[in-house]
Amino acid sequence: MKCLPRHRPWCLILLLVVAMPALPALAVEPPGRDAPSLAAREAELLERYRDLERSFLRLADLLAVSDPRRAGVLRSAFDRARQEQVQDRVAAIVIMLEQGQLLKAGTSQQDALAQFRGLLELLESGAGEQQLSDTSKEVRAILGRLATLIARQRALEGQTEAGDAVGELAEKQRVAADEAAALGDDVGRFAERFGDDRGDQNEPQKADPPAAGAEQTPGDGHPAPAEDQRPATDEQHDEQDDDGSRARRTRQRLEAAEKRMRQAREQLDGAERGEAREAQQRAVEELETARAELEEILRQVREEEVTRLLVQLEARIRGMLKAERGVLADAEKLSAVAAAQAERERQLEAARLSREQGAITVDAAKALTLLRDDGTAAAIPQALEQVHDDSAEAAARLTRGDVGRDTLGLLGDLVVGLEEMLAAIEKAQQAQQADEASPAGGRASAPGEQPLVDKLSELKMLRSLQLRVNTRTQRLSRLVDAAEEQPGEPELRAVLGRLAERQRAIERATRDIVEGLVE
């Protein structure tokens, strides 16, 4: 299989994932003549990985204009590889093998393999997100054109009933039929791309004969193409219940609607107003059926988007929570022994904690970008923004060597906030899985508008945010009352300003949720 340049990172990662499992198995054999060969093979993998890591940024630069989302995925993969020090880990394995430390090398190889798999999942998820996003945009555009066509056809039906001039109506009907034909062609091309992109291997030819069969009924005043084209068995129906089949059925409905429109035009030319109106009505029915198929595609695409996003958020927030708990535990230890520890050692340890806290801040920013791009949640992005800001403040405090009560309280608040967010994400995942298993087929919502989390979870998150503001206000009040720890006026005003802004943000998020509930 030839690896195209744009797929090179994916191919190299896949090669590493395939090659690495064999090395730990060989590593259990006794040292001797096998150790140098294992070290050489590991060194070869190291060189391939270095090539891979360099290609991340090169390819990201090439795709920056034509495919910015994929370029962002590549840069994220590069950042993650550097953050996890993957290259250094593999280089260390080479040294272990050269020194004959096979068991230790085998354990390290398993860890490296898990990191490679994580990078591969990150790259694959980026490609899948782009595909889902493109599909959603295209379906929405088609739905917009279809809604306009339905409105126009309904207007023609009303004008026919009202007795408008048949000559003018016939010309308008011809224009509408041409629009239906153009839309049907576009949907047909979309169906082909959709089937290819989604791995839909159902035979598309099986969906075409009903459309051809519908052409045999132009003279019949009451054909029923929608019924004629239904699958004959339950098994066939199940096979055609995928999104690729829905796209093809949409094209068939548009073709049937076009035939009705041209039939109506011919009848208008013949001054057969009653028959023309009936054909127009049937055309509207076909168009509405096509719209229902497209809306179902959009709903399914949105469900996939939500599933992917929840998985990404769950993994990122879980990692942040684990890291934050570690920072809090180490900060508490440092605070407890600060008096007995040398100043230089204390500063070095605080600086290390600050770097770890800074990495958490970066992860929070990335997760916040995911939520803002989605745009269907109000409280969780606000909570994550507060986590980001508090994390940045905690990192700054640790940089100064501050591991006092306020800093520890801030770190504790971060742990609580991340725990609450993780619980909300996990609940949303459970609800998503229950919806997918339900015969009803998902939560009731407008096509393509399924929220990331339900409103009840959003309201609970708002309650937690409000309690946190209240707690900080009370903590600040106690600090001001304690004259020996009273902050200066500029610092006090800055803290109060941040609290006021958070209160306003909670108010905005509450209003957004309430308006969504009313709608």
Average confidence (pLDDT) over 142-164: 90
CA distance 263 to 275: 9
Provide the pLDDT for residue 1: 43
> Could you give the CA distance from residue 363 to residue 319 in angstroms, rounded to a whole number?
9
pLDDT at 13 > cutoff 60 = no
Nearest to 361 by CA among 320, 301, 418: 320
Report the percentage of the chain scoring pLDDT > 70: 73
Within a 10 A sphere around the Cβ of 287, how many other Cβ atoms? 28
Q: Residue 43: is its pLDDT beyond 50? A: yes
- Mean pLDDT of the region 400-427: 90
C-alpha span between 11 and 376 (Å, rounded): 35
Average pLDDT, the chain: 77
**458-491: pLDDT as tens digits:** 888 888 888 888 888 887 787 777 655 555 567 7
Q: What is the arithmetic mean of pLDDT over 120-148?
A: 75
> Is the confidence at residue 288, as pLDDT, over 90?
yes
- The residue among 42 and 212 whose pLDDT is bigger is 42
Range in 96-110, 354-368, 378-392 the model is least confident about: 96-110
pLDDT for position 22:
44
Q: What is the mean pLDDT of residues 507-515?
A: 84
- pTM > 0.85: yes or no: no
pLDDT of residue 151: 94
Burial class for 347, CB neighbours closer than 10 Å (0-12, 13-18, 19+): middle
Rounded distance between C-alpha atoms, residue 26 and residue 258, angstroms: 67
Structure confidence at residue 291 (pLDDT): 92
Longest Cα–Cα distance of the chain, Å, equals 103
The pLDDT, as a whole number, for residue 49 is: 80
Q: Which residues contact 202 (CB under 8 A, 6 or more apart)?
A: 195, 239, 240, 242, 244, 245
Q: What is the pLDDT of residues 309-347, one digit of tens each?
A: 888 888 889 989 999 999 999 999 988 886 666 778 888
**What pLDDT, on the 0 to 100 scale, is given for residue 326?**
93
In DSSP notation, 9-23 reads HHHHHHHHHHHTTHH
The model's pLDDT over 204-229, given as tens digits with 9 standing for 90+, comes to 444 444 443 444 444 444 444 444 44
Q: What type of residue sits at position 245?
A: S
Q: How far apart are CA 258 and CA 176, in angstroms?
A: 8
pLDDT category, 174, cuts 50, 70, 90? very high
Q: What's the per-residue H, E or C state across 332-376?
A: HHHHHCCCCCCHHHHHHHHHHHHHHHHHHHHHHHHHHHHHHHHCC
Given this model, what pLDDT does residue 394 score? 92
Q: Are 301 and 194 in contact (CB under 8 A)?
A: no
- Residue 284 CA to residue 61 CA, distance in Å, equals 48
Return the domain boundaries, the chain.
5-100, 133-298, 304-518
Structure tokens at 184: 């049907």
Note whether 492 and 480 are within 8 A (CB). yes
User: What would the pLDDT profile of 231-258 be if each residue is shown by its tens digit?
Assistant: 444 444 434 566 778 888 999 999 999 9
Is the confidence at residue 512, as pLDDT, over 80? yes
pLDDT band at residue 124 using 50, 70 and 90 as cut-offs: low
pLDDT of residue 487: 55
Q: Look-up: residue for tokens 């923004």?
A: 385
Instruction: Tell me the average pLDDT across 384-399.
Output: 92
